[in-house]
Amino acid sequence: VDASFECLDYEKIQDELTNEEAKKYGLSVKLALAFQRNIVIFLTAISTGLCVASIDFVEHNCLYFRFDFLKNQFENYFGRPDMYFLLFSYWLMLTLAPAMIAGLLTVFIEPASAGGGIPGIIGFLNGVNVPKIASLKILIVKIVGTMFMLMAVLTTGKEGPIMHLGVILGASMPFMHIPFTNIRFFRLLQYNRERRDMASVGIASGVSAAFITPIAGVIMALEECVSYCSAKLTARILLGSVITSFSSAFLISLMMRNCIGCVLNKELLFLTVHNSFKYLDYYIQEIPMFILTGIIGGVTGSIWNCLELEISYLRQRFFKKKLYKLIDLGVLTTISAISSFIIMLSITECHGGDSHKHLPENFQMYCPKGEVPTVGLFFFQNDISLMNTLISEEGKIGVIPLLALFVYYFVFTAAFMGASISGGVFLPNLITGAIWGRLFAELLQELFPDRTKWCHPQKYAFLAAAAHLCGASRICLSLGCIMLESSGKAIFGLPIFVVIITTKFVADMFTHPIYHAECLLRGMPLLEKTPPPYCSWIPVRNIMNKNVVALPKVTTIRAIWAVLNRTNHNGFPVVDPSRTSTEDGIASYGQLLGLVLRRRLMIIVKNKLYRGQQFEDSLKIIRNQFASVMEVFSAQDNQIIGEEGRETIDLGPFMHVSPIFVQMGTSFTSAYALMAGLGMRHLLVVNNSNEVVGVVTRKDIAVHKSETTCCTVESKVVPLV
């Protein structure tokens, strides 16, 4: 666990100031809070839809030029070996140039925009203060970088970046203000707890905008990212997800089809082949085949995870300099372009199916009229069109072409995940699964033509897509909802969830989910939803930190200044030092009265709130500065403290009067579940006399990990470095 990671405060603070406000203005504050939340949800949803529509618009127009230009070159020069170098030059240029532009933006402007961003999102919503996870600079670089990534047609997807965009917008909206002033629109939403809830709305909006599946967006936020949930939060997430789904569909139809009334057009959906899903009918005798598909998905997903984590580990160890990261991206993109070009030249089969509408017009090359090159299905359409081809194409694509495409996608999807470019692996993993699922079905049809009439390649491509992605990510419920909402056939839910549940069961025997494994590789103090096994016998007294910095309820400004300068602790228990005792050889620091946060102490000292202001004025100052106050003292602050250091302050109005605490004998499992479920940063430990004897931080808990090996799960303690 990386000790440099700080954590966030998701515990709700109750102090005398907010209690007094609730007594005096309770209803008006409640209505204002609800109004501000709904406005932020609406703005987040509309903004996410606008970002997605803009990305889709640029992708559509740029790829039209790319594919049309390459089609003309291939039709003119294919079959002439002396012109293959020129063909490859065009192919490499149109792949490498946009990829390197995206890489330059990522490496030199905002390195935190690399990848899909989902591991960082999981950490942030889990309570880890991931640096720059919700920066507006990342928002801009992410949008532009994703556009250039899509122009390069790499084995990366836009779904992860879109989810990250939603989180950035959701977590940033509460801080909207008039530039160069301190006038803020959403003062009541400045706290980390509210930012977390708005970020949850953002990730649901991202999923909804990417797939036009609002229910799947809600389930994704609840299943994979949010550590704490309530019925009211679920309702807010659903509201944002539905608004985003409508706004993105409306804007895409307006930009790309110039049609205002096309919001409900099925062509806007992620899987645009509803009418072609006639092969999704199944027989009860096929359930063993569905289970076998899930087993294969669990194995292939686990192997893919191992490959990706090894590549990420090597990158983390050897490619630390910016220039090395850029060279890594350039070399990887070049190898990818060479591999795809070799596949283009090596496979000369023709295909006469019904997927011509996704390809450039009159694209024939060496094929007779009415047919298209099989490799054109692979490299002359975008990833969504390729996915739709794999799960809806009626004719056989061929075992050899599918095998070549599977190896290409399996390797380069893993290789590009940790590269310095904005791109995710959600859709590429779906495509990888669809490839081997279709390959599996077509191979069975060739080996047993008379006994496999029920084995439709489209159906098994559809199921294997879900199996492979679930094997890599262990996303179950939301993935099943995406596939069901996309297919439009609820009756196909049984095969989908049979495959997904089997896949998760098999994959959990071998590896961690890829996104959580990435969090652990980065050293995030992540708390899983379930405690590590075999730790219930450990009492809290064995893991707590006994060196507690406590403050008396009435103290001097100089004492507070000294504590803040001497330590970097986030919270300090407020105690009555006159009541101490010793139990089991552990001395206490005084009877617990409350807890005061570091940021509040900084605001108190910097704004001289110890001089007896009205509670409304004090509360207004705290809300205005809570998110922006500097946690270090300036020279001017030190001078003022030197003059007024002897003044005293009563911390009673500013401290959290009901902090959560546990007894020394509480089990590790109970403390873990409490901190993970409530998103707590620190947990106070008291003795039988309610006197503070220690504190447990998130990092003290997070060093206890579950280790997944072959068919076994064990508990271990990792170092804090």
Domain boundary among 522, 548, 574: 522
For 355-369, 495-509, 689-703, which range has the lowest pLDDT when averaged over its residues? 355-369
Q: Please write the tens of the pLDDT for every residue from 155-191.
A: 998 988 999 999 999 988 888 777 666 677 887 787 8
Mean pLDDT of the chain, nearest integer: 84
469 and 573: one domain? no
- Is there a domain that residue 650 lies in? yes
Q: What does the buried/exposed string (b/e) look like for 19-48 if buried means 16 or more CB atoms within 10 Å of the residue's CB?
A: ebbeeeeeeeeeeeeeebbeebbbbbbbbb
492 and 451: one domain? yes
488 and 555: one domain? no
What pLDDT shows up at residue 185?
Answer: 80
229 and 292: one domain? no
Q: Please write the tens of the pLDDT for every residue from 196-248.
A: 889 999 999 999 888 888 898 899 888 876 666 778 888 999 999 999 988 88
What pLDDT shows up at residue 272?
Answer: 54
Residue 69 domain boundaries: 53-176+185-257
**pLDDT of 85 higher than 80:** yes
Higher pLDDT, 636 or 679: 679
CA distance 252 to 260: 9
Query: Is the sign of the CA dihedral 358, 362, 365, 371 positive or negative?
Result: positive
245 and 361: one domain? no
Burial of 617 (0-12, 13-18, 19+ CB in 10 A): exposed
482 and 565: one domain? no
321 and 215: one domain? no
151 and 197: one domain? yes
In 3-state terms, what secondary structure has residue 680?
coil
For 479-493, 510-524, 614-628, which range has the lowest pLDDT when averaged over its residues? 614-628
For range 465-480, the mean pLDDT: 92
Q: Please write the tens of the pLDDT for every residue from 11-25.
A: 778 888 777 877 777
Q: Please write the tens of the pLDDT for every residue from 327-369.
A: 999 999 999 999 999 998 888 888 776 656 667 777 777 788 7
- Tell me how many domains the chain contains: 3
Q: How many residues comprise the chain?
A: 721
For range 124-153, the mean pLDDT: 89
3 state SS for 536-557: CCCEHHHCCECCCCCEECEEEH
60 and 202: one domain? yes
CATH of the domain at 662: 3.10.580.10
- Is there a domain that residue 667 lies in? yes
- Is there a domain that residue 65 lies in? yes
What pLDDT shows up at residue 284?
Answer: 82
What pLDDT shows up at residue 616?
Answer: 67
For range 589-600, the mean pLDDT: 89
- Is there a domain that residue 714 lies in? no
Domain boundary among 465, 489, 522: 522
Q: Please write the tens of the pLDDT for every residue from 414-460.
A: 999 888 999 888 899 999 999 999 999 888 888 887 766 778 888 88
**pLDDT of 626 higher than 70:** no
211 and 330: one domain? no
489 and 590: one domain? no
For 13, which DSSP code?
P
**pLDDT of 632 higher than 70:** no
For range 244-261, the mean pLDDT: 78
- Is there a domain that residue 393 lies in? yes
Structure tokens at 713: 């799960």
516 and 548: one domain? no
- Is there a domain that residue 527 lies in? no
- Give residues with Cβ within 8 angstroms of 423, minimum separation 6: 115, 116, 146, 149, 154, 156, 157, 158, 160, 161, 416
What pLDDT shows up at residue 274?
Answer: 46
- Is there a domain that residue 658 lies in? yes
- Is there a domain that residue 374 lies in? yes
CATH of the domain at 239: 1.10.3080.10
What pLDDT shows up at residue 221?
Answer: 87
What pLDDT shows up at residue 266?
Answer: 52
